[in-house]
Amino acid sequence: MAKKTLFRLEFETEYRVVGVFCPEKDYRFCWLLNSKMGYNFRRLPDFEQASVDGNSSDFYSVFGFEIESLQRTYFLMNNRSGNGSRLFSSPPGLDYLMLVKADESRFNFSDLVKKIRSLPQVTASYLLDDILGKNKGIFLYDFELYVTQKGKIQRN
């Protein structure tokens, strides 16, 4: 009898994921972050996620900006597609994912979460690194591909 060998591949990423609960439309929320927190989010091409059956795709709006001198990259992604499907169903009511690529020794993620939470339009925000479940790795792998292919941030 042939012996079966099981390989387990895990994807390591430099992104930390912050979940944001905010009822504002995505463009309005980006404006709020830009005006109140000094960010410079710009619209990027939509992130495409194939459906489970493979017959259709869902598109999620993405905004991004980069602080080159600090080697930080921020992406804000709507958790709801244009047709209402959700990228992540847990935690319930999650509106946005903020993906941050930064050197953890020089960036305080707790301060970022507190600043976002202090905005009056935001209901809640917290780090989602361990909460998104088993689909997180697949999503982050797909998102890395998206960034290399379509999600290039235009420099001013």
Distances (CA, A) of 54 to 21, 50, 57, 61, 128: 29, 6, 7, 20, 27
Could you tell me how many residues make up the chain? 156
Residue 150's identity, in one-letter code, is K
Taking each helix axis from N to C end, the angle separating 109-117 and 26-37, rounded to the nearest 10 degrees, works out to 110
121 inside domain: yes
**pLDDT below 50 — which residues of the chain?**
156
42 lies in a domain? yes
| pLDDT tens-digit readout, 86-110 | 888 888 889 999 999 888 778 888 8
Domain-embedded: residue 9: no
Give the β-pairing of 96-101 and 15-21: antiparallel
Q: For 51-62, write each residue's pLDDT tens digit.
A: 666 678 889 999
Q: What domain range is 107 assigned to? A: 15-149
In a domain, 5, yes or no: no
Backbone phi, psi, residue 126, to 5°: -165, 165
Q: What is the pLDDT of residue 137?
A: 77
The pLDDT of residue 45: 92
Total number of domains constituting the chain: 1
CATH number of the domain where residue 106 is located:
3.30.310
Q: Phi first, then psi: what are they for 79, rounded to 5°?
A: -80, -10
